[in-house]
Every structure is written in structure tokens, then in C-alpha cells.
Amino acid sequence: MKRREFGQHCGLARALELVGERWALLVVRDLTVRPRRYTDLLEGLPGIPTNVLSTRLKELEQAGIVERQVAPAPQRGVVYTLTAAGHELEPAILALGRWGATQLGEPRPGDIVTPESVTMTLRATFNHGAAAGLTASWEIRAADLVLHAVVTDGKPDIGPGPAPGDPDLVVTVDPAGELPSYENLMQAMKCGLVQLAGPRELLDTFLHLFTAQGA
């Protein structure tokens, strides 16, 4: 498939030529969170045809945004990861995600939630100003979803999986059969529909740090 060209000497036009094809930014989103195997990407993007994923990865490799690496032990095989140029896209992705988080509304029929999608929404909504000087850690559990949010002197580390060490607060959310989306998780916390292991005031802190402005 021939890639689109806009014929404009413009940074935005060039960026769209490189990452503006369908699914490309979602591939970059998932790789921003962590390196992934081809099958991991396919599982996390269930609507993407296999030939489209292969094409997007090839295009992103050719553009110097994605590269293949040998998986570290004890894993085997090849994983896809972002290059230095690929990681430079994160602020733009977070800015788009921050705006999009205010437009989410209720999940639509057929919508899915992945650890990567919730991670990037939390990264996008994180209030750096409110976190100045703060050190605290949270572990969020909902159905099969487990995420950690660790803030060290105002600097966030947000990703899939349990919090390292003993988190200051463990929040277990029962989505009552609903999709464990960012919106549903935050609503459950605001309504107190959670189990807490740790100081109650840290739940208020979490909500203050991660509630999307304008939501």
C-alpha cells in the first residue's frame, strides 16, 4: 500500500505521513508502555487485521520509530520496541490522550480495555503540578487488570503489573460486570465502590492526581 503524502513542507504533515495511518499510533501507544511481541500486539489490538499490523510495523521500522530486539531472558524470541525517535512521540500521544479522556463517555458496544490503554490514560491525566514533592504508591486491581502508580518526589512511574515492594494503598475495584475502563475505575473510586488496603486519604490523593481535567 502506498503511503499517503501531503505534499507540504510542514512538520505536522510529515508526522502524519509517518504515524497517521490507521492503527499506527495505537501500536506506538502500546510500545510506549513496554516492548511487545507480535502476538502481544495482536492480542491488545483485537480489531486489527494481521496484514495491517504487519504493514504498520514494517512502516514504523522503516521510519526509524520501531525496532526489533531479542527478548531478554528468560523470554525467547523477538520483541518490538520503540527507538529513541519513537519515544519522542510520547508527549504528543499523551496530549492526544489527555484531550481524548475528556471525550470518552460510556464504553461503546464492543469496546475493550487493555492494560496499555488504561496505563496511557493515567499517564495522560497525571497532574504533575499537584504531585510536586509527593512520594506515594498505589496498586489498582479490577478483574484481571492490575496496574501500579508510583510517584517519587513528584515523578510518576505508571504501568501494568503489581507495584514494586509494598504499595502504600491497594485499591480493589469491583466493576460489577462492567468494563474496567478508566472512566469506570475512577467512578467506582469516587463513589466508594472499592476495597482499600492502606490509608483512605491516599484514595483522595489518587483521584486528585489522575482525574481528567474537564471530565
pLDDT one-digit tens code per residue, 86-117: 999 999 999 998 888 788 777 788 888 889 99
Domain residues of the chain, as ranges? Answer: 11-88, 107-210
What is the pLDDT at residue 110?
83
**Nearest CA to 182 among 127, 131, 114?**
114
Mean per-residue pLDDT of the chain: 90
Q: Residue with C-alpha cell 525517535?
A: 85
Least confident interval from 117-121, 178-182, 188-192? 178-182
DSSP H helical ranges for 34-144 = 38-44, 50-62, 84-87, 90-101, 115-125
Distance CA 121, CA 117 (A): 6
Distance CA 55, CA 203 (A): 43
- Summarised one tens digit per residue, pLDDT across range 15-40 is 999 999 999 999 999 999 999 999 99
DSSP state of 52: H
What is the pLDDT at residue 176?
57
Share of the chain above pLDDT 70, in %: 95
Distance CA 203, CA 190 (A): 9
- Summarised one tens digit per residue, pLDDT across range 122-162 is 999 999 999 999 999 999 999 889 999 999 999 999 999 99
pLDDT grade, residue 59 (50/70/90)? Answer: very high
- Summarised one tens digit per residue, pLDDT across range 158-167 is 999 999 999 9
155, 186 in Cβ contact below 8 A?
A: no
For the segment(s) 11-88, the CATH number from 3.90.550.40, 1.10.1040.50, 3.40.50.280, 1.10.10.10 is 1.10.10.10
Q: What is the CATH class of 107-210?
A: alpha beta
Grid cell, residue 9, equals 513542507
- In this prediction, residues 175-197 reach a mean pLDDT of 84
3 state DSSP class of 104: coil
Evaluate if residue 215 carries a pLDDT over 70. Answer: no
Q: Residue with C-alpha cell 519515544?
A: 87
What is the pLDDT at residue 24?
96
Distance CA 78, CA 136 (A): 35
